[in-house]
Amino acid sequence: DAGVIQSPRHEVTEMGQEVTLRCKPISGHNSLFWYRQTMMRGLELLIYFNNNVPIDDSGMPEDRFSAKMPNASFSTLKIQPSEPRDSAVYFCASSSGTVVFGYTFGSGTRLTVV
């Protein structure tokens, strides 16, 4: 199994541009999570899906952020318009539905907004 696959690994964009981050979870995992990591705030939960349905998006910082999961094998996190304070490492993780088996994280997307 290739694990959770995130793309791109690095993204540099100008303020005001649209950014789309992509995630392919592990096949058979029915929960998917988007986290953001910064030095100041650590790992923040942005949104999570169960069986492709968004369960809790209360961590999404503002309306500029949106996430979709059109099917069990793909999810996107979109930022429009992007701002410098959105610079962070964004992680996608998937699990088999119960936390006891652990989350499998992707390698993350390092986003820099200039």
Partner 1 sequence: QQQVKQSPQSLIVQKGGISIINCAYENTAFDYFPWYQQFPGKGPALLIAIRPDVSEKKEGRFTISFNKSAKQFSLHIMDSQPGDSATYFCAASLLNQAGTALIFGKGTTLSVSS
Nearer to partner 1 by Cβ, of 8 and 16: the residue is 8
Binding mask 5-44 for partner 1 (x = CB under 8 A): -------------------------xx-x-x-----xxx-
Find the angle CA(97)-CA(93)-CA(15) to the nearest 5 degrees: 140
Q: Judged by CB under 8 A, does residue 114 bind partner 1? A: no
Nearer to partner 1 by Cβ, of 7 and 81: the residue is 7
Q: Judged by CB under 8 A, does residue 90 bind partner 1? A: no
Q: Judged by CB under 8 A, does residue 54 bind partner 1? A: no
Q: Judged by CB under 8 A, does residue 87 bind partner 1? A: no
- Give the containing element (helix H, strand E) for 10: strand 10-13
Phi-psi region of 43 (alpha: psi -120 to 50; beta: other; left: phi over 0): beta
* Per-residue CA distances from 114 to 14, 18, 36, 46, 87 (Å): 5, 13, 18, 22, 9
Q: Judged by CB under 8 A, does residue 106 bind partner 1? A: yes
Binding site for partner 1 (CB under 8 A): 4, 30-31, 33, 35, 41-43, 45, 48-51, 55-56, 58-59, 91, 93, 95, 97-100, 102-108
